[in-house]
Structure 1
Amino acid sequence: MTIAASPAASGYQSVFAAQLFAGQVVIVTGGGSGIGRCVAHELAHLGAQVVLVGRNSDKLQAVQQEISADGGQASWQACDIRSEAGVTELVQELLARHGRIDALVNNAGGQFMAPLESISAKGWEAVVNTNLTGGFLLARECFKQSMAQQGGSIVNIVADMWGSMPGMGHSGAARAGMVSFTETAAVEWARAGVRVNAVAPGYIASSGMDNYPPEAAGLLRAIPRTVPAGRMGTEAEVSAAVLFLLSPAAAFISGSVLRVDGARPQGRAGWGMQLPDAAARQRPAVQPFAGFHRAQLPRVFQD
C-alpha cells in the first residue's frame, strides 16, 4: 500500500498560479479537518479570503491559526448547516462583514457504518440532513443573498456512490441527491452567471478515517487492493479538483461531477484486478500529488 506523505516544504505546493483567487471570498464548510482543511489552505495560499464554517469551534480556530501562520487570510464561523434559520443568519453576517461571496465549497458531511436494516429514522435523517439538506440550504442562501446579483461558483463534495454504498446506504442516498441538486442548480442558476459542480472523492487518506471504529482498520488497510490505481488518494488531489472547478479554466463547466477515485467504480467482478507494479507506480503520470504541507496521515495507516 502506498500513501503519499506531505513534502517537506514551507508552504502549500499548489499547481495553480499564484494569487489565482486574490480578492475572492470563499466559504468552505467542514473546514476544520480533512479535505475541507486542505481546500481552505490551498485557497488561502492562492490569495482567497477563506471563511471556515463548521460546528466545532476549536477545530475551525486551529485551522484559521494554521492559515494565518502560513501567511494566508481566513476567518471562521460556527454554524449547524442543518438549521435553516442558522444558515440564513450566517450568510447575512458574512455579507455584512465581507460584502460579497464569490464561491462556496460545500464540503461538510458525515456518516456512520451500518447496514440498512439497523439504521433508525433518526440516524437516517441525521446523515441526509448533513450531507444533502445542509448543502442545499447553504447554496440556496449564497445564491439568494449574493450570487444572484453578482454571479459565483459552487462546488459540492459528494462521494463514490456509483454502484451503491453497502454499509452506508444513508450516505449514498444523500450524495446521489446532492448530484441531482448540482445538476438542477446548474440549470436554474446559470441565468445569474453561477456555475454549480461537484467533486466525488473515492478512497482518500484523510482524517475522516480516524472516526471509524477500530474493527474497521483491516477493511481500510485493504482498500488499495480494490482500486485500479493501487493506492488511496491524497487530500491535495481532491483540493486540486475543487480549485480547478472554481477557476476561470472551468468557465464552461457546470452541472458536472469530477471523480477523484483512481478508477475505483469501474472495477468489475470477473476482471482480475491488475495493480500497478513498483515500476509503474514510479511513473510521473500516476505519482501521488502531495502538495499539502500540513497533511496528516490517518492513524490507521501509521502502524
Structure 2
Amino acid sequence: MAPSRYDSIYKSSLLAGKVVLVTGGGTGIGRCIAHELASLSCTVVIAARRLSPLLKTQEEIGAAGYEGRCDVLHPLDIRDHEQCKKAIQDVVRKWGRLDGLVNNAGGQFPSPAEKISPKGWRSVVDLNLTGTFFMAQAAYEGYMKENGGSIVNVIVDMWNGWYWVAHSAAARAGVYNLTRTLAQEWTPHSGVRINCVAPGAIIGAGQSNYPPSVQKKVIESFSYQNPSGRLGTESEVSSAIVFLLTPGASYINGACINVDGGQSIRQGPIFDTVFSPDSKLPIYHGFGSPSPDDDLGMGPGFRELFGRMAAIKPPGDAEKGKSNL
C-alpha cells in the first residue's frame, strides 16, 4: 500500500520543468523534500551512499502519481570530491539542467567532546562541512556558474553550542559561514543564490539514529523545551527549503531560516517561567495522518508523541477534537 500523496502548501505547477538534486534523499527530511518537490511538478534527483532507501522513496513517489518525477543517483559519498563532480555531470547529462541543489546529507553521533576520537572527529566534519563544500563547488563549476540556480544547505540549531555533539556543531557552524562567503563570491558573477535552513528538534526518522536513552530524553522532556512547546515536523522543514528554491525567494541570499520553534532564542527557565508541554501551536504534516505504511521511521514512543502533536487545536477552535492535519 502506497503512502498518502504529499499535500504541499504551494501550487502544484510551481517547479514545473525544474531539476533539483537532493543529497541524503532516501530517508527522513530528504525523503520528505523529495515528495514535496515531485508534488510540485519538479524532476527530483535523490542521491546517497545506500541504494535501498533511494529505491523505496522513488517507488513511493512513482506510486503517488505526482506531476513530477523522481530519479535515483547512486552511489554518492559526498566526502569524495570526484564522486561529487561526477554526480553533477550525470544529472546535467541526463536532464540537461540543474536548477537547485539541496545539501541535506549529513550526520553525527552523540559523545562528550573529550571522548571524540580523531577518526570520529574527521568523519563528522568531512561529512557535514567538507561534503557540503564539495557538492556546492561541483554544482557551481559543473552548471550553475553559467546558468544560475539555488543552493540550500541544511544545518542545525547550533547557535548556542550543541551539547554532546561538538564535532557536528563545529562543522555546521562552518557551513553557515561558508554559505555567507559563497553568496558574496558567487552570486555577483553567476546569479546563484546560496542559503541555509537550520532545523531544530524534528520528529521523524532522524531520531532513530540516536541511542534509546537519548530518544527517551527527547520524548519525555526535550520535546517541549522551546517557546512553541513541541517538536517540529519534517514537512515544516521541507516547506522552508522548497521556498528558498522558488522565485519568491529571489532576494534572499546568504541567509538562514531557523525552523526550530524558537529554540535558538531559548534562554532556559527565567524566574518561575518554564516551557509547557501543552503546546498551542498546530503542526503541519504534508502526508496527512500517518498510517502503518507511512510511519516516518518512528518508534512507538515517537509515534505516540506525534499523535499528541497532531491533536493540537489552535486556541478558540470551536470544533473540539478536530485534527489539524
Give the TM-score normalised by the residue count of structure 1: 0.92
> SS of 2:254's equivalent?
coil
Output aligned runs, 1:1-303, within 5 Å.
Answer: 10-72=4-66, 73-78=69-74, 79-190=76-187, 191-221=189-219, 222-271=221-270, 272-275=272-275, 281=280, 286-293=281-288, 294=294, 296=296, 298-299=298-299, 300-302=301-303
Unaligned runs of 5+ in 1: 1-8
For residue 307 of structure 2, what is the aligned residue in structure 1?
none
Retained in 2: the 8 A contact 1:227–1:262? Answer: yes
For residue 311 of structure 2, what is the aligned residue in structure 1?
none
Q: Distance in 2 between matches of 1:113 and 1:19?
A: 41
Retained in 2: the 8 A contact 1:235–1:292? Answer: no
Q: Distance in 2 between matches of 1:266 and 1:129?
A: 28
C-alpha RMSD of matched pairs (Å) = 1.7
Q: How many residues align?
A: 291
* Superimposed CA distance per residue, residues 246-285 of structure 1 (whole angstroms, 9 cap, x where no aligned partner): 111110000000000011122214514444585x61xxxx
Retained in 1: the 8 A contact 2:113–2:164? Answer: yes
* Superimposed CA distance per residue, residues 63-111 of structure 1 (whole angstroms, 9 cap, x where no aligned partner): 0111111124011112111001111111111111111110000000010
Give the Å deviation of 1:220: 1.3
Higher relative contact order (CA 8 A, sep 6+): 1
* Superimposed CA distance per residue, residues 32-86 of structure 1 (whole angstroms, 9 cap, x where no aligned partner): 1000000010000001100001011000011011111112401111211100111
* Superimposed CA distance per residue, residues 151-176 of structure 1 (whole angstroms, 9 cap, x where no aligned partner): 00010000000110110000000000
Give the Å deviation of 1:187: 1.1
Moved more, 218-227 or 140-149: 218-227
Moved more, 264-273 or 19-28: 264-273
Q: Distance in 2 between matches of 1:102 and 1:297?
A: 30
Give the TM-score normalised by the residue count of structure 2: 0.86
Unaligned runs of 5+ in 2: 289-293, 305-325
> SS of 2:73's equivalent?
strand
> SS of 1:215's equivalent?
helix
* Superimposed CA distance per residue, residues 1-44 of structure 1 (whole angstroms, 9 cap, x where no aligned partner): xxxxxxxx942111111110111110000101000000010000
> SS of 2:195's equivalent?
strand
Give the Å deviation of 1:297: 5.8
Extract structure 1 runs of 4+ deviating beyond 3 A: 272-278
**Partner amino acid, structure 2, of 1:267:** R
> SS of 1:111's equivalent?
coil
> SS of 2:153's equivalent?
strand
Retained in 2: the 8 A contact 1:186–1:195? Answer: yes
**Partner amino acid, structure 2, of 1:53:** A
